[in-house]
Amino acid sequence: MKTLVNANIWRLVKAEIFYNLFVHALLFLTLTFMFYLFGGLVRDGIYQDPSLPHLLAVAIMYLLFTTRFLEKRTRYIQTLPVTQRELGLARIYAQGFYCVGALLIYGISLMASFPADLLTEGLWRFLALAALLLLGNAAFCLSFDMWAASSLPTFIKALLLALIWILILRLGTLYLEIPFAEGMSRGDVTTAIFIYKTPWGVMLQYLFAIVLSVMSYKLYIHRQSFLT
Amino acid sequence: MSHAFQITQLVKKYPEFMLGPLDLTLEPGMVLGYIGPNGSGKTTTMHCLTGLVKADKGSMHIFGRENHPNKPAWKLDIGYVGDVHVFYERWTGEKNLKFLSQFYPDWSDTLAKELADRFRCPLHKKAKELSTGNRVKLSLIAALAHSPRLLLLDEPTAGLDPVVRTEVLDTLFEILEDGQRAIFYSTHILSDISRLADELAFLSNGQLVQRTAKDDLTDSWRRISFRLKDKVTINKVVEHKTEGQDHQVVSSDVVETLSHLKALNAGNIQESRMTIDDIAVHILKGVQ
């Protein structure tokens, strides 16, 4: 039976988590301090936009994603006696854990920024950013796997990836522009509200993240070369 | 009994290079040196065999089991050391080995420790702090600690200076001399493997040129000098130099060449044995 979790997958994911545990812990402490600081400044009306440290958290998390690929660990684990399917799933899960780290930090930020509205405004913001992060993560994995796919012409790969990233970056900028709604066009405000303030919009992002993750997984297990 | 590995009609195409069609087998307990110049397809063969690269055509079996990506039991039988030594860089050697040990039921911590002592490999250091030589040693320990029946070594000493290379190879060969494992050793430096190899397979431009027992090779190849007035084509000669009436040839079959020379009434015939490196150069030069 094809399981989604087994001992081998857990061993691989665990290694990935613990490998970056120190960096995560350091990041966690630093950003928590920063978010409390910014949260306090926002509450006191000294600083209006709490999104800057959030953006920083996301940027650092993405830098962490890249280390996995740059360190050629794909090649390292490829020779282990585990199935291609287990390797593919472990890879997706391990990258998902980076998002969990980012969300943990963001959750603390929300506690600091919206202590009174944590279960309303705070929860919505949390779910919205989680969707955006998972989407970005899935797009990141897909970018590597699509680029490594030898069956697609380079032009097609470049075009598809450009389209995906334009869409995701636009979603990201909309998220950041929400606090400044008065300066946005009517169309952008409608889209931003749908994507980040309605259950269907948030669900749509999660669905899109899952589709991209599945595509990434499929491309990975059908790769012709694992030398990266 | 199953072959240690059996490669059948393997083909792997790249834009400017094609390996195969390649047929190659190795029997359990035998050591096969895989010799060829850079870019001849040695590493591609290894990558296909280990599953790092998918072949376009053909099949590969390890001890009778196909190297299928979703039936990985065949990987338990192999220990692989490639030309690139990849680890969890911020982990110590010891922690890297601990990680690997979870996947191999036959992994022995005692053996790993013993190998580390013999190689004098500092397992307490982080992988990123290890010298190239020590990275090679760590790779070898990782490949050997689960006692694989087949060892795949792809130019493991590439990039090492001569002193460290000799040290690594001496220790490795001491460990491997028990003849318990089949070894497939790819290199372009024949002296690295000539001590241990039972057979040699020569690869050039993605094609297997020749496969022969090492002893047969050294017995049949000779450098022969003689005097003869005319310049004639001589049987089994792969290189022929003349200076007046003095000739010097390299023969791939000393018996046949000598018999031909005698028939031609050549004078002052002298033969000398060739080193295995010298023979390899001539074999590979002959197909280029």
The ipTM (two decimal places) reads 0.80
pLDDT > 60? residue B283: yes
A1 assigned to some structural domain: no
Span A90-114, average pLDDT: 71
**What does the pLDDT look like over B29-77, one tens digit per residue?**
899 999 988 889 999 999 999 998 999 999 999 999 999 988 999 999 9
Length of chain A: 228
Q: Which domain holds residue A35?
A: 7-221
Q: Which two tokens stand for residue B68?
A: 């299928």
User: For chain A, first and last CA: distance in Å?
Assistant: 30
The β-bridge relationship of strands B5-14 and B17-26 is antiparallel
Q: Is the pLDDT of residue A83 over 80?
A: yes
> Which pLDDT value is given to residue A50?
56
Q: Which of residues 79-108 of A touch B (CB under 8 A)?
A: 79-85
Number of helices (H), then strands (E), in chain B:
9, 14
Burial class (CB in 10 A: 0-12, 13-18, 19+), B172: buried
Residue A72 has pLDDT above 80, yes or no: no
At B138, is the pLDDT very low, low, confident or very high (cuts 50, 70, 90)?
very high
Encode burial over B10-31: b for 16+ CB neighbours within 10 A, e otherwise: bebeeeeebbbebebebeeebb
A107, pLDDT greater than 80:
no
Confirm or reject contact between A25 and chain B (CB < 8 A): no
Q: Could you give the CA distance from residue A13 to residue A11 in angstroms, rounded to a whole number? A: 6
Indicate if the pLDDT at residue A69 is higher than 60. Answer: no
The pLDDT confidence band at residue A153, using thresholds 50, 70 and 90, is confident
Going B202 to B204 to B206 to B207, the CA torsion angle's sign is: negative
Give the closest-approach CA distance of B239 to chain A in angstroms: 40
What per-residue confidence (pLDDT) applies to A5? 86
Is the residue at A147 inside a domain? Answer: yes
Strands B246-251, B237-243: pairing is antiparallel
Q: What is the mean pLDDT of residues A108-117?
A: 68
Residue A169 clears pLDDT 80, i.e. is over it: yes
pLDDT at B102: 95
* A31-35, A94-98, A147-151, B134-138: which is most confident: B134-138
Q: Determine, yes or no, domain membership for A108.
A: yes
Let me know if residue A228 belongs to a domain. no
Is there a domain that residue A2 lies in? no
Q: Residue B89: left if φ>0, alpha if ψ -120 to 50, beta else—which one? A: alpha
Q: With an 8 Å Cβ cutoff, is A24 touching chain B?
A: no
A contact test, residue of B14, B74, B102 with most A CBs within 10 A? B102
- Structural domain tally of chain A? 1
Could you give all domains of chain B from N- to C-terminal order, each with its CATH number? 5-216 (3.40.50.300), 221-286 (no CATH)
Report if residue A62 sits inside a domain.
Answer: yes
The structure tokens listed for A81 are 């006696």
How far away is chain B from the Cα of A7, in angstroms, using its nearest Cα? 10
pLDDT at A95: 74
Instruction: Give the integer Cα–Cα distance in Å for B90 and B87.
Output: 9
Residues 14 through 73 of chain B touching chain A, CB cutoff 8 Å: 47, 50-54, 69-73
CB distance B223 to B274 below 8 Å: yes
Instruction: Show Cβ contacts of residue A123 under 8 Å, excluding neighbours closer than 6 positions.
Output: none
